[in-house]
């Protein structure tokens, strides 16, 4: 999909919608042209007539060349430089709950630090009895755990506060991924160092050029944070913080410090840039919410969606993702009429605490226009709000923490557009 270049809202939306339509038309045309009768039954197809690549040719496997469009994408006008920017997960092209490592969205403030694991050190100091420095091997020798969690950037859906904006769930919701992490409980490291009685906060700092840092309450650090070095079994990707990142289950992505270099224990927060001028929520009355760490329950229909058009009438599977930073997802509802009538969706696959769940709703589509919505509920009883309900309490000055219900308008021709219902 071509990315937008214009900054005015209307033309930007038209551009995105047009680009999606053209891309889809082009894809089906190419598919039709490419279809080669000699490969179709009852003939023996080309790939059965010759030997394929032997083992070892593909030392590190890649997806099929026919899946080359399933990639992270950027929107260049969103940010001034690619080093301080974001790429988005192609949610519309994925299923299940796990995000493949190469497709996890990236958010960097100063580009990707390339760290030699031999030179890697994690420093733990401040209000502790015994300051410590860990090598990567030190961390790998300690007892480890495996946890599946989502990570959502607080700015996910941030462009949508003032109305429907970007045409595709990759862009509206693609700052989320869900991965299995392997790492050491942070509690273990803190216990090794020994906490002073007034140890109430911890500063986590990255080793990238931004030295990005955030204050985290000690209760959270001792509860479920991990110092992780693996994702989905293999070592972290450089983009995701190789060799070590902090995992802070359920909390905004910004506190999941990558390329983790330093942990300092203190008696109060540090009020760093990322928790004062950024990652606070400016309300209508001019006050700002601060330290809004937990990500509220949210969901999105990933297919059909603007980048995943509906090609056929008849039996159709609606599919989507839901997650909550406050616990397990308990239920997901789907509406076909913009939120007037809700049906309970079918959750399939494992339901983990503060992880993505996959939901489905099977429908018979006879070609009528629909207004597709999903709403998530979590174990605390919280129900994902409409965008208007959210604006009533939070105004429209915010960038962060937009978990309002998304609406996709499915048109008679199978195209899908990002809209809002009044
Ligand atoms: N850590 C460091 N050191 N530098 C960064 O720029 N970005 C943060 C966080 N940790 C960042 C960082 C933000 S805003 C988010 S949303 C997540 O990392 C993104 O993690 P990902 O790139 O693995 O998706
Ligand atoms: Co972020």
Pocket test for ligand 1, best of 107, 122, 260 (most atoms within 8 A of CB): 107
Residue 9 has pLDDT above 50, yes or no: no
* pLDDT score recorded for residue 22: 40
The answer to whether the Cα torsion of 272, 110, 279, 100 is positive or negative is negative
Tens of pLDDT, residue by residue over 389-411, are 999 999 988 889 999 999 999 99
Predicted TM-score (pTM) of the model is 0.92
How much is the mean pLDDT over the chain?
92
Tens of pLDDT, residue by residue over 21-30, are 444 444 554 4
* pLDDT score recorded for residue 35: 85
Q: What b/e sequence results for 99-120 when a residue is b if at least 16 CB atoms lie within 10 Å of its CB, and e otherwise?
A: bebebbbbbbbeebbebeeeeb
Residue 52 has pLDDT above 90, yes or no: yes
Interval 302-321 mean pLDDT = 97
* pLDDT score recorded for residue 33: 57
Nearest-angstrom CA–CA distance, 218 and 4? 43
- CA distances (Å), origin 339, targets 41, 287, 367, 420: 45, 32, 19, 11
Interval 1-26 mean pLDDT = 41
Tens of pLDDT, residue by residue over 148-169, are 999 999 999 999 999 999 999 9
Per-residue pLDDT band for 31 (boundaries 50, 70, 90) equals low
Nearest-angstrom CA–CA distance, 279 and 269? 15
| Distance from Cα 377 to the centre of ligand 2, integer Å | 23
* pLDDT score recorded for residue 15: 37
Pocket test for ligand 1, best of 79, 108, 243 (most atoms within 8 A of CB): 108
């Amino acid at each position: 999909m071509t990315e937008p270049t214009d900054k005015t809202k209307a033309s930007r939306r038209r551009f995105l919608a047009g680009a999606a339509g053209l891309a889809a038309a082009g894809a089906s045309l190419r598919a039709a042209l490419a279809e080669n009768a000699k490969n179709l039954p009852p003939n023996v197809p080309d790939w059965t007539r010759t030997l394929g690549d032997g083992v070892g040719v593909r030392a590190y496997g890649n997806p099929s060349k026919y899946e080359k469009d399933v990639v992270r994408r950027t929107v260049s006008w969103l940010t001034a430089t690619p080093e301080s920017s974001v790429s988005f997960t192609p949610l519309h092209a994925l299923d299940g709950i796990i995000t493949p490592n190469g497709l996890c969205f990236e958010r960097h403030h100063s580009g990707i630090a390339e760290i030699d694991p031999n030179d890697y050190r994690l420093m733990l100091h401040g209000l502790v009895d015994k300051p410590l420095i860990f090598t990567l091997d030190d961390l790998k020798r300690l007892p480890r755990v495996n946890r599946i969690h989502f990570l959502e950037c607080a700015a996910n859906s941030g462009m949508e506060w003032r109305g429907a904006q970007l045409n595709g769930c990759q862009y509206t919701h693609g700052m989320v991924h869900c991965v299995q992490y392997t790492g050491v409980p942070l509690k273990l490291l803190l216990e090794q160092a020994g906490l002073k009685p007034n140890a109430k906060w911890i500063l986590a700092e990255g080793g990238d050029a931004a030295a990005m840092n955030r204050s985290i309450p000690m209760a959270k650090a001792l509860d479920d944070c991990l110092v992780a070095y693996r994702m989905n079994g293999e070592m972290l990707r450089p983009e995701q913080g190789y060799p070590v990142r902090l995992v802070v289950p359920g909390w905004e992505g910004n506190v999941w410090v990558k390329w983790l270099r330093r942990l300092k224990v203190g008696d109060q927060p540090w009020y760093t840039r990322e928790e004062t001028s950024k990652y606070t929520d400016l309300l209508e009355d001019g006050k700002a919410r601060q330290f809004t760490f937990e990500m509220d329950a949210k969901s999105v229909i990933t297919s059909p969606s603007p980048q995943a058009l509906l090609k056929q009438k008849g039996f159709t599977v609606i599919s989507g993702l839901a997650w909550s930073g406050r616990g397990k997802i308990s239920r997901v509802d789907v509406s076909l009429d913009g939120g007037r009538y809700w049906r309970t969706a079918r959750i399939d696959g494992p339901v983990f605490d503060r992880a993505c769940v996959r939901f489905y709703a099977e429908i018979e589509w006879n070609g009528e226009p629909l207004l597709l919505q999903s709403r998530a509920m979590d174990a605390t009883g919280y129900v994902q709000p409409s965008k208007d309900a959210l604006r009533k309490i939070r105004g429209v000055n915010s960038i962060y923490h937009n978990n309002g219900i998304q609406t996709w308008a499915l048109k008679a021709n199978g195209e899908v557009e990002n809209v809002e219902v009044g």
